[in-house]
Amino acid sequence: MKTTQILLACIFTLLVSGCASLTPEKGGFVSNSLCSVSIGDCVNPAIKEQSDDIISILTGKPVAFVKTRLGLPNRRNELASGAKTWVYFDHSKGMTAKSCKVSLSIRDNMIERVNVSTSNKSFASFLSEGCERIRKEIG
């Protein structure tokens, strides 16, 4: 009986938090069952709109802007359609160590889309925003 009550409480919590949804943009209940660990990350990152200064600064800028500010990318890929993807990495060390990856989608020498992803390297990493070097160079 206790197990059933715990399971129902978990399902109710997921439904209330928005993690358990049958709509495609939410990913469905099964793929989001891990949302209970991190309620804020329920939406698929490919669909979720990010709000970051890096995104607002770089979106719509010409490639020359990025080249002069950040230099050539750490990784690049050219697609058959003529689009390019450039990836910049920024890793910080110390107690607030964080790993940062900024991906740019480029078409006709203009930045169409920017994606910023960070990951914590230590417990105290949540204190820093990440991508400090990139933020400083483009700001």
pLDDT recorded at residue 36: 39
pLDDT recorded at residue 85: 95
pLDDT recorded at residue 28: 45
pLDDT recorded at residue 91: 84
pLDDT recorded at residue 94: 74
Q: Where are the domains of the chain?
A: 1-46, 49-139
Contact (CB, 8 A) for 116 and 54: yes
Q: What is the mean pLDDT of each run of 10 residues along the chain (139 residues)?
A: 58 51 44 42 53 89 95 93 93 79 95 90 68 87
Which top CATH class is 49-139? alpha beta
pLDDT recorded at residue 124: 64
Strands 84-91 and 110-120: unpaired
CA neighbours within 13 Å on the CB side: how many for 116?
19
Is-above-0.85 flag for pTM?
no
